[in-house]
Amino acid sequence: MAGDALTRAPSGRIGSNAGRTVGAALARLADPVFLEAALGPVIVAALALLVIIPTLAPTVANWDTAEFQTVGPVMGTAHPTGYPAYVILGWFAGVLFQPFGDPAFRMNLLQAVLAAVAAGATTVVVGLLTGRRYVALAAGLLLVAMPFVSDVTVTLPVTGTITATPVFMRLATHADPHMFHAALVAILFGVLIVWDKRIHALDPEDRGRADRWLVAAAFVYAVAVANHSLALLLPPAIGLFVLLVDWRVILRPRTVAACVLVLVGTLVVLFAELPIRAAMHAPLVYGHPDTIGGFAYVVLAEQFRGSLVDPFGNLGDKTAAIVSLMYGWLGPLLYVAILGLGTSLIRRPRYLVLSGLTLLVTCYFSTAYSNADIERYFLVPVLIAFTWVGLGVADLVGGAAYVATWISERITPEATANTTEAASPEPPDSAAASSDPARDPDTEPEPEPEPDPELGTRPRGRPGNRYAWALLVGEIAAAVVLVAPIPAVIPDRQRPLSTFDPGGVSEAAMTADSEWMHQVLAAPDKGGLPQNSVVVSWWSTSTTLWYGQRVLGLRPDIYIVDDRTRLDDNLGSVQDVFNRFLGNRPVFTIRLAGGVDGMQALSAEYDIAPYKLGDGSTINQVLGRKGSQ
């Protein structure tokens, strides 16, 4: 099969285990079959980078984006669950991408790389499942561009309004761990599929080494858990898939022990970043993860308890919303995805369990979870849907090739008879296959030959040359049709979102947050805030100011007080902070309008006036309590 070449290496005998491993790896990299199979995912990843990099935000943004642009370079702690895998990766990216832009842009550049990995891994998954390289390539490119997206909007009691956008490219423009989550899930699916194929391979050596891929899957899953808690939704799908592939794996203690050891060890190593960096007083640490209670508070996301509301209620409305959103993301390709879903019931039932259960659990969880940008939580379901599109197209092409071959036989039977034997080798002898001691003939079915990368799966006795040509022509034609709309939508994607460009995602011109931050944190004689100022802010602006102060080193004399800071430093309410510093230090505030500590309530209690910055913009200065003068 086409995808198998990505995992298969020529066997060889080298003196030591280390030498054998290195030799096999080098042989695999040099193997023309491997290089040919890897070409499609590499092309997809390269094209993804080509179209995404021009859309990247050039510098710091606000809200969670600015937080991740801060904690990555300083290896700090993000909001619950801490995201240690993403933070550590962000730190390495900051070092690796030193020549490119400021630290915030390097985190954005990492996002583009992760998007390329996710698209490339999606291509691998489709290729492994179908053997159709051109279709797999088209599926990866479709995921990137999402050419048929429409602004379908649904409203649910918990999530509020959700509007379908080109979510893949939109999330690829700025720092955010959801793209890393999507990339890890795609990689995890690919590794599990390879394990499945190795378990059912005819080669005893392949079967004997198959469980190494299951151990690798345990590692990938552990990294996913340390990146985003959405990974905790995956175990039911993974567990059922593993049992369907080979339930006897639970009777292999060495494999089970290796998986558990790798899983637990990886989690311990990655989550250790939280208390270690907190104890080292990293420049930005959320909560107190260097204490037992603080570590549990961050890792278990106790702050967000109550965000999941009535997950099993209104299932009919939620189902209708999910279907509507899927049509918004896929457009007419949704029908192709449904076709792939249907054919996979017979042809790929194990992958259908893995991907289908992941999609359902994630979608229904997301429709019951309160989040400011809940569309991000649907990124993995969208990725899965595009793998189904690839499966549907591949099966459609295979069926069309079968029909074309059948018609050709009836038209020119003489030519068929002359080519059938030469192009159609007999399948392995069933008696020889049954003699394999590793297979229980009473409980395990006869292993089936894997489809040839060029001929695909074809009925026994069909003329190979005709079928191969029909399949190849059909596959190329289908891939061309699938990717044909993409060149037309890419220019639209590379423009900013506007009334005239509703499909735009580019953040390349978004410098307003950086410019504002530099004005606020400029030196006093350059128009910035006075010396030793206190800024009582809220999350979206606090994170931008933290980036300037703790990554760029601007104005360390200013005390930035976020709602999180008030909790961590026991400062009390916003009013308590005002009262504490008024008369001692200049006090400024940036708050939302409503609420007991919003600008409306604060303006009724305090004299607040605009303070002009160097560029003429203003920030609110708290002068004192009303009537206190």
Number of domains in the chain: 2
Radius of gyration of the chain (CA): 28
Contact partners, residue 76, CB within 8 Å, separation at least 6: 70, 87, 277, 282, 283, 284, 285, 286
pLDDT at 548 over 90: yes
pTM assigned to the model: 0.90
Q: Tally the residues of the chain.
A: 629
Assign residue 82 a region (left: φ > 0; alpha: ψ between -120 and 50; beta: otherwise): left
Burial class, 364, CB count within 10 angstroms (exposed 0-12 / middle 13-18 / buried 19+): middle
| 431: confidence class by pLDDT, cuts 50, 70, 90 | very low
| 460: confidence class by pLDDT, cuts 50, 70, 90 | very low
Strand spans (E) along 339-424: none
Both tokens of 117, joined, read 């990995």
pLDDT recorded at residue 412: 79
Contact 37, 11 (CB under 8 A): no
CA distances from 390 to 179, 245, 267, 537, 581 (A): 21, 22, 33, 47, 61
Q: How many CB atoms lie within 10 A of CB 141?
A: 23
Q: State percent of the chain over pLDDT 90.
A: 81
Contact 107, 64 (CB under 8 A): no
Instruction: Let me know if residue 223 belongs to a domain.
Output: yes
Instruction: Let me know if residue 469 belongs to a domain.
Output: no
SS3 category, 323:
helix
pLDDT recorded at residue 191: 98
Span 140-164, mean pLDDT? 96
Both tokens of 304, joined, read 């967000």
What is the largest distance, in Å, between two alpha-carbon atoms of the chain? 107
pLDDT recorded at residue 29: 67
pLDDT recorded at residue 10: 45
Contact 173, 55 (CB under 8 A): yes
Q: Give which of 187, 218, 175, 167 is closest to 87, Cα–Cα.
A: 175
SS (H, E, C) 506-569: CCCCCCHHHHHHHHHCCCHHHCCCCCCCEEECCHHHHHHHHHHHHHCCCCCCCEEECHHHHHHC
Q: What angle do CA 384, 389, 394 make, to 5 degrees?
A: 125
Q: Give which of 46, 178, 57, 171 is closest to 119, Cα–Cα.
A: 46
Of 206-215, 395-404, 406-415, 466-475, the least confident? 406-415
pLDDT recorded at residue 26: 67
Domain boundary, last residue among 364, 395, 426: 395
pLDDT recorded at residue 25: 63
Q: Are residues 383 and 517 in the same domain?
A: no
Instruction: Let me know if residue 413 belongs to a domain.
Output: no
Between strands 160-163 and 153-156, the pairing is antiparallel
Q: Are residues 237 and 93 in the same domain?
A: yes
pLDDT recorded at residue 384: 98
* DSSP, res 209: T
Span 618-623, mean pLDDT? 98
pLDDT recorded at residue 450: 47
* DSSP, res 313: S
Burial class, 447, CB count within 10 angstroms (exposed 0-12 / middle 13-18 / buried 19+): middle
pLDDT at 430 over 60: no
Span 84-92, mean pLDDT? 98
Q: Which amino acid is at 537?
A: S
Instruction: Let me know if residue 274 belongs to a domain.
Output: yes
Q: Give which of 405, 398, 404 is closest to 343, Cα–Cα.
A: 398
Beta-bridge partner residues of 587? 534, 622
pLDDT recorded at residue 410: 85
CA dist 617 and 512 (Å) reads 12
Quick: pLDDT tens for 319-366: 999 999 999 999 999 999 999 999 999 999 999 999 999 999 999 999
SS (H, E, C) 254-305: HHHHHHHHHHHHHHHHHHCHHHHHHHCCCCCECCCCCCHHHHHHHHCCHHHC
CA distances from 246 to 187, 208, 240, 308 (A): 20, 13, 10, 35
Span 108-134, mean pLDDT? 97
Of 119-133, 195-209, 525-539, 545-559, the least confident? 195-209
Instruction: Let me know if residue 487 belongs to a domain.
Output: no
Quick: pLDDT tens for 372-412: 999 999 999 999 999 999 999 999 999 999 999 999 888 87
* DSSP, res 5: G
Residue 356: alpha-carbon gap to chain centroid: 17
CA dist 619 and 600 (Å) reads 15
Beta-bridge partner residues of 155? 161
Beta-bridge partner residues of 561? 536
Instruction: Let me know if residue 493 belongs to a domain.
Output: no
Q: How many CB atoms lie within 10 A of CB 420?
A: 16
pLDDT at 21 over 80: no
CA dist 19 and 317 (Å) reads 58
Instruction: Let me know if residue 538 belongs to a domain.
Output: yes
pLDDT recorded at residue 15: 43
The more confident residue out of 446 and 515 is: 515
Q: Are residues 38 and 165 in the same domain?
A: yes
pLDDT at 55 over 80: yes
Q: Are residues 526 and 387 in the same domain?
A: no
SS3 category, 626:
coil
Instruction: Let me know if residue 411 belongs to a domain.
Output: no
Span 26-37, mean pLDDT? 73
Quick: pLDDT tens for 242-301: 999 999 999 999 999 999 999 999 999 999 999 999 999 999 999 999 999 999 999 999
Domain boundary, last residue among 338, 360, 395: 395
Q: Are residues 391 and 521 in the same domain?
A: no
CA dist 354 and 186 (Å) reads 11
Contact partners, residue 471, CB within 8 Å, separation at least 6: 397, 398, 401, 455, 456, 458
Provide the residue range defining the domain that includes 591. 512-625
Q: Are residues 382 and 521 in the same domain?
A: no
Which residue's structure tokens are 């409503």? Answer: 594
Q: Give which of 182, 176, 168, 124 is closest to 490, Cα–Cα.
A: 168
Span 45-61, mean pLDDT? 98
Q: What is the mean pLDDT of the chain?
A: 90
Which phi and psi angles does 224 have, rounded to 5°?
Answer: -65, -40
Domain boundary, last residue among 372, 395, 418: 395
Both tokens of 46, joined, read 């390269």
| 446: confidence class by pLDDT, cuts 50, 70, 90 | very low
Contact 531, 557 (CB under 8 A): yes
Contact 111, 319 (CB under 8 A): no
